[in-house]
Amino acid sequence: GRITDAMTAEELWQRQDNVPLLPASTNKTLTSAAALLALDREARVTTRVVAADQPGTIVLVGGGDPTLSAAPRGQDTWYHGAARISDLADQVRRNGVAPTAVQVDTSLFSGPTMAPGWDPADIDGGDIAPIQSVMLDAGRIQPATDESRRSLTPALDAGHALAAALGVDPQRVTIAGHPAPIGARQLAAVQSAPLVERLYEMMNVSDNVMAECIAREVAASMHRPLSFAGAVDAVINRLNTAHVDTSGATLQDSSGLSVFDRLTAKDLDGVVQAAAGPDQPSLRALLDLLPIAGGSGTLSDRFPDATPGFGPAGWLRAKTGSLTAINSLAGVVTDRTGRVLTFAFISNDAGPTGRTAIDALATALWSCGCIT
Q: How many domains would you assign to the chain?
A: 2
Domain boundary at 193, 222, 242, which? 193
Domain check: are 230 and 364 in the same one?
A: yes
Distance CA 256, CA 29 (A): 10
Distance CA 170, CA 153 (A): 14
> CB–CB of 292/199 below 8 Å?
no
Domain check: are 145 and 242 in the same one?
A: no
Gyration radius from the chain CA atoms = 22
Distance CA 214, CA 196 (A): 11
The per-residue pLDDT for 258 is 99
The per-residue pLDDT for 38 is 99
329 phi and psi, to 5 degrees?
Answer: -155, 130
Residue type at 114 in one-letter notation: M
Residue 309 has pLDDT above 80, yes or no: no
Query: What confidence tens digit (pLDDT) does each residue in 53-78 have?
Result: 999 999 999 999 999 999 988 888 89
Residue 40 has pLDDT above 80, yes or no: yes
Domain check: are 351 and 214 in the same one?
A: yes
The per-residue pLDDT for 266 is 98
Domain boundary at 193, 218, 244, which? 193
The per-residue pLDDT for 2 is 98
The per-residue pLDDT for 256 is 99
pTM tops 0.75: yes
The per-residue pLDDT for 372 is 52
Query: What confidence tens digit (pLDDT) does each residue in 248-274 have?
Result: 999 999 999 999 999 999 999 999 999
Range 17-39 average pLDDT? 99
Domain check: are 268 and 159 in the same one?
A: no
Which active-site residues does the annotation give?
25, 28, 206
Range 214-239 average pLDDT? 99
Domain check: are 175 and 267 in the same one?
A: no
> CB–CB of 1/265 below 8 Å?
yes
* Distance from chain centroid for Cα 242: 21
Contacts (Cβ under 8 Å, ≥6 apart) of 168: 99, 100, 101, 102, 162
Q: How confident is the model at residue 369 (pLDDT cuts 50, 70, 90)?
A: low
Contacts (Cβ under 8 Å, ≥6 apart) of 177: none
Query: What confidence tens digit (pLDDT) does each residue in 338-355 have?
Result: 899 999 999 999 878 999
Q: How confident is the model at residue 191 (pLDDT cuts 50, 70, 90)?
A: very high
* Distance from chain centroid for Cα 17: 25
Distance CA 161, CA 172 (A): 12
Classify burial at 243, counting beta carbons within 10 Å of its beta carbon; exposed 0-12, middle 13-18, buried 19 or more. Answer: exposed
Domain check: are 220 and 341 in the same one?
A: yes
H helical segments located in the chain: 28-38, 85-94, 121-124, 154-166, 195-205, 208-221, 228-241, 265-276, 285-289, 352-368
Residue 370 has pLDDT above 80, yes or no: no
Distance CA 131, CA 255 (A): 12
Q: 24: closest CA among 349, 257, 353, 344?
A: 257
Domain check: are 354 and 234 in the same one?
A: yes
CATH classification at residue 293: 3.40.710.10
Q: How confident is the model at residue 155 (pLDDT cuts 50, 70, 90)?
A: very high
> CB–CB of 194/42 below 8 Å?
yes
Please report, rounded to a whole number, the percentage of residues in the chain having pLDDT higher than 90: 88
Domain check: are 277 and 316 in the same one?
A: yes
Give the angle 340-344-346 at the CA atoms, nearest 5°. 160
Distance CA 330, CA 343 (A): 6
Average pLDDT value for the chain: 95
Domain boundary at 193, 210, 243, which? 193
Domain check: are 291 and 213 in the same one?
A: yes
| Cα separation values, 238 from 108, 158, 175, 215, 342, Å | 21, 32, 33, 11, 21
Strand partners, 340: 334
Domain that holds residue 333: 2-41+197-368
Domain check: are 188 and 273 in the same one?
A: no
Distance CA 316, CA 329 (A): 11
- Strands 2-5, 340-348: parallel, antiparallel or unpaired by DSSP? antiparallel
Domain check: are 266 and 345 in the same one?
A: yes
Strand partners, 327: 322, 347
Query: What confidence tens digit (pLDDT) does each residue in 111-150 have?
Result: 999 999 999 999 999 999 999 999 999 999 999 888 899 9
Q: At what angle do helices 195-205 and 208-221 cross, to 10 degrees?
A: 140
Please report, rounded to a whole number, the percentage of residues in the chain having pLDDT higher than 70: 97
The per-residue pLDDT for 336 is 82
Domain check: are 34 and 161 in the same one?
A: no
Classify burial at 303, counting beta carbons within 10 Å of its beta carbon; exposed 0-12, middle 13-18, buried 19 or more. Answer: buried
Residue type at 322 in one-letter notation: S
For the chain, how many residues are written?
A: 372
The per-residue pLDDT for 305 is 58
The per-residue pLDDT for 315 is 86
Residue 333 has pLDDT above 60, yes or no: yes
